[in-house]
Structure 1
Amino acid sequence: MSGKAKRLNKIVDRSLAIVSFFVIWELLPRLDIVNSAYLSPPSDVVVAIGKLIQNGELWKHVTASLRRSLSGLLLAIAAGTITGLLLGWFKRFERILDPLLQLARQVSAFALFPVFILFLGIGESSKTAIIFWASFWPILLNTVSGTKQVDKLLIDSAKSMGGSQLFLFFRVILPAAAPSIFTGIRLGGAYCITALVAAEMIGSSAGLGFYILNSQEVFQIPDMYAGIILLAVLGLLLNYLLAVIESRFTRWRKGLANNG
């Protein structure tokens, strides 16, 4: 089989499930198997997205959601990676903080939303806080795990060559833990989109979460599903961006794989 045929087969395999899903979705309301008042066919959803683009509403809602999700996620990345590296590298620091962190991570971001509103109001700060809290934990836990799993042989080899603590941290620990850290960041990105919906459903006038809830309240069901699809696309794009960044920071893994 030629390379072109293999690529075509790969594309067909990867698109088969999603195409089947949308075909079934289109048929269910069209054949009156499901009431179209509750499940709009994808063709109507596409029309709703087209109207959003035409009237300029799409950019307003997408930029509002992007601003909130990225601000919360970036804060979570900074706090989660720094704290995780410290916990993974300094055992006493972990012994002191771990009981508190284990307790805190059991508290859902949604359960804390009333607390965030009390302290920060219903503005952007509380929305950023809920996204931060939801995204922080997978980043922290994966960073701790990656730091602890760094091969001792690498550390001992660097020490035997006279490597300083800074050299160990930046040239050995951080690169070796990077794959696990980026796994946490990508999980944090997924959690951030989930928390975004809840954050935007309270005290918002723009954003995809607000648009979904508002469309449901006025019974504009195609618009509601349009918001859901756009939110899924936003999540996919964010995941793709994080995957591209990960591949650039972990190029050495490809080199090891090729040498192996």
Structure 2
Amino acid sequence: MKRRDLLLASAGLLLIWQVIAMLVNQPILPPPGRVLVTLWEETRHGNLSGHFLASLWRVVASTLLAVLTAAPAGLALGQFKRLNAVFSPIIYILYPIPKVVFVPVVLLFLGIGELSKIVVIYLILFFQILVLVRDQAAGLHPELIRSVRSLGAGRLALFRFVFLPASIPGILTALRQSVGTAVAVLYIAELFATQRGLGYYIYLNGNTLFNYPAMYAGVIAMSILGLGLYFTVDGLERLLCPWQVKNRSTSG
């Protein structure tokens, strides 16, 4: 996405927001100018930065954990048909279930600490990465694997030069598809017995303090978090899979 298009889209949304705020003319919907000033002040002199970093840590930790566990599992399922035949029915049942329904279950088992919030986001990313990496690995041509083995490559070399490069596009695609859902579930997870995080900040200002400009500032901060994660995935794709970016731009 070009920077100019992003700026134009942002300006259009702010304009629509301003018009609706003027029509509503209620404290519950302050104009965007006031919210942006509040965002700046809360970031510099308030505690919004601390809440942003707490949420960022939870998303990054759950993402790294999901990649480290789901990618090897997906590679194994994609290459071993018997193993895939055993676990595919389980994945078929669990994959379509909205992972947000597991929030109370995770809280019951792990409590209300930091780990439970990370695990909730991890569950979303795990299944997305597992399924896409499995499909990528299963789609590898047997001739390619045999040709690499004929050159004397062992299991470690196959993993490094064949399976791992083949799984990277699936991992990045899964992360791109899951960013929005992960941030949404992050908000829900941060409503439970915590005093750190953007979800807590938004709820506190909107439903307890009735500080609506600060509430919307928190919403914008959470949007920035999601956009930042999305653009980070795009940057990793350009760095690690330049051929895929080129093919997408050519086909578009």
Deviations 1:204-236 (A, max 9, x none): 111111111111112211111111111010111
Partner SS state of residue 150, structure 1:
coil
Q: Where does 1:87-126 land on structure 2 (aligned, <5 Å)?
A: 87-126=77-116
Cα offset, 1:151, TM superposition: 3.3
Q: 1:144 is matched by which residue type in structure 2?
A: R
Distance 1:75 1:198 in 2: 20
Q: Which residue of 1 aligns with 2:10?
A: 18
2:239 counterpart of 1:241: no
Structure 1 distance, partners of 2:25, 2:73, is: 50
Task: Point out where structure 2 has 5 or more consecutive residues left out of the alignment.
Answer: none
SS in 1 for 2:121: helix
Q: Provide structure 1 residue ranges, at least 5 long, that are not aligned to the other structure.
A: 1-9
Question: Displaced runs of 4+ in structure 1, greater than 6 A?
Answer: 254-257
Give the counterpart of 2:191 among 201, 211, 225.
201
Task: State how far apart, in whole Å, the 2-side matches of 1:165 and 1:154 are.
Answer: 14
Distance 1:123 1:230 in 2: 23
Q: Report the CA distance shift for 1:245/1:90 in structure 2 as closer, same or farther (over 3 A).
A: same
Aligned to 2:73: 83
Instruction: Encode CA deviations 1:39-61: one digit per residue, 9 max, x unaligned.
Output: 22110111211221232312211
SS in 1 for 2:24: coil
Instruction: Find the counterpart in structure 1 of residue 30 from structure 2.
Output: 40
Q: How does 1:217-228 map to 2 (within 5 A)?
A: 217=207, 218-228=209-219
Aligned residues: 246
Letter in 2 for 1:21: L
Give the % identical residues.
34
User: What amino acid sits opposite 1:214 in the alignment?
Assistant: L
Give the whole-Å Cα distance in 1 for the aligned partners of 2:182 and 2:148: 37
| Paired position in structure 2 for 1:6 | none
Q: 1:255 to 1:130 in 2, by over 3 A?
A: closer
How far did residue 159 of structure 1 move? 3.0
- Taking the aligned partners of 1:41 and 1:242, their CA distance within structure 2 comes to 32
Is the 2:59–2:118 Cα contact (8 Å) retained in structure 1? yes
Contact 1:137 1:188 in 2 (8 A): no
TM-score, normalised to structure 2's length?
Answer: 0.88
Structure 1 counterpart of 2:211, which letter?
Q
- Structure 2 counterparts to residues 117-136 of structure 1, below 5 A: 117-136=107-126
2:205 to 207, 212, 215: 215
State how far apart, in whole Å, the 2-side matches of 1:138 and 1:231 are: 22
Alignment of 1:250 onto 2:234: no
- CA distance in structure 2 between the partners assigned to 1:252 and 1:111 by the alignment: 38
Q: In the superposition, relative to structure 1, how do residues 240 and 17 fare at CA in structure 2: closer, same or farther (>3 Å)?
A: closer
Contact 1:146/1:181, CA 8 A, preserved across alignment:
no
Tell me the C-alpha RMSD between the 2 structures: 2.3
1:255 and 1:220 map into 2 onto residues whose CA distance is 46
SS in 2 for 1:162: coil
